[in-house]
């Protein structure tokens, strides 16, 4: 029997590692071969089962990168091309805004006026005083027409009072010229009672207007500003179906709608015979 060994303090027996291993495993311990160059002391070898933790943490496997589906960017549908704001019609001019108390046909903002053409030089005009009248239709038949004209200064847009507006046009049969004149009031207005004009061959339906400043009524010298106040063709086509206009055998010249400067509305939209209301703003350069 082997003698028991005690530790340095003499407390208890000391069991060698070889004996402990053999006791636990139930088999005699085998000595491991000596390693050359060592002290010859052998240490017990112990099989250590391979475990996952010995290999360290598993390397991270990158996940495949899947690109996100492209999101279509909404493209606005092409709209209609930009249309420039309509400017003044040929032969018209956009006047400055009216001063307070000088509203044009109920509007105090800037407005478009028919620019009358001046004569090249002053000349003597003669107007019989009996033609200074508001009612120029007299006993001439036709669709009644109330005409209201306002005269303004081109540069400032101010009303011109004390000027003479002289108008003339063909009667409803296209045979006789009717004529009359009025002096504009302090707000530049002049009104006439007449009939819807007739027509002659090759000439669009219109009212000829002249504006005079100076001694026109006294037979003095003045510069006349003149222009044509055209009637809307759509309305004239309806009037042409009524008596006495339908008796006119002369072909009617069709006017460009852009030159229809008169604003005309019927008193009764269901009955043109009841009369028409026409208005316009005209301007002169001096």
For 102-158, how does the pLDDT look when each residue is reduced to its tens digit (9 = 90+)? 334 334 344 678 889 888 766 666 778 888 999 999 899 999 999 999 999 988 889
Rg of the chain's alpha carbons, rounded to an integer? 56
Place of tokens 């669009």: 204
Domains of the chain: 92-284 (2.60.130.10)
Tokens standing for residue 201 = 């061959």
Q: Which residue has the tokens 């207007």?
A: 209
Q: Which letter does DSSP use for residue 62 in this model?
A: P
CA distance 107 to 95: 13
Q: How far is CA 205 from the centre of its chain?
A: 34
Residue 7 is encoded by which pair of tokens? 């530790």
Asked if pLDDT for residue 55 goes beyond 90, the answer is no
Confidence of residue 251 (pLDDT cuts 50, 70, 90): confident
Q: Residue 265's beta-bridge partner residues?
A: 277
Task: Say what the pTM is.
Answer: 0.63
Give CA–CA dist 81/189, Å, rounded.
41
Convert the pLDDT of each residue in 167-178 to its tens digit: 999 999 999 999
Are 202 and 253 within 8 A, CB to CB? yes
């Amino acid at each position: 029997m082997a003698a028991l060994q005690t530790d340095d303090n003499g407390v208890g027996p000391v069991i060698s590692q070889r004996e402990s291993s053999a006791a636990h495993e139930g088999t005699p311990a085998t000595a491991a071969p000596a390693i050359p160059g060592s002290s010859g002391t052998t240490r017990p070898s112990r099989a250590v089962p391979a475990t996952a933790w010995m290999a360290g943490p598993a390397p991270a496997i990158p996940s495949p990168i899947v690109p996100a589906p492209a999101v279509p960017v909404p493209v606005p549908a092409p709209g209609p091309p930009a249309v420039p704001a309509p400017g003044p019609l040929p032969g018209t001019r956009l006047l400055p805004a009216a001063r307070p108390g000088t509203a044009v046909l109920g509007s105090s903002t800037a407005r478009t006026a028919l620019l009358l053409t001046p004569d090249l030089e002053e000349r003597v005009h003669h107007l019989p005083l009996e033609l200074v009248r508001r009612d120029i239709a007299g006993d001439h038949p036709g669709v009644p027409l109330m005409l209201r004209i306002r005269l303004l200064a081109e540069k400032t847009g101010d009303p011109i009072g004390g000027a003479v507006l002289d108008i003339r046009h063909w009667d409803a049969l296209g045979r006789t010229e009717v004529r009359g004149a009025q002096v504009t009031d302090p707000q530049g207005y002049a009104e006439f009672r007449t009939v819807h004009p007739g027509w002659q061959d090759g000439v669009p339906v219109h009212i000829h207007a002249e504006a005079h400043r100076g001694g026109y009524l006294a037979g003095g010298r003045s510069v006349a500003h003149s222009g044509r106040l055209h009637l809307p063709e759509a309305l004239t086509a309806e009037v042409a179906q009524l008596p006495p206009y339908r008796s006119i055998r002369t072909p009617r010249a069709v006017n460009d709608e852009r030159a229809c400067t008169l604003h005309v509305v019927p008193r009764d939209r269901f009955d043109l015979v009841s009369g028409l209301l026409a208005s316009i703003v005209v301007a002169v350069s001096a």
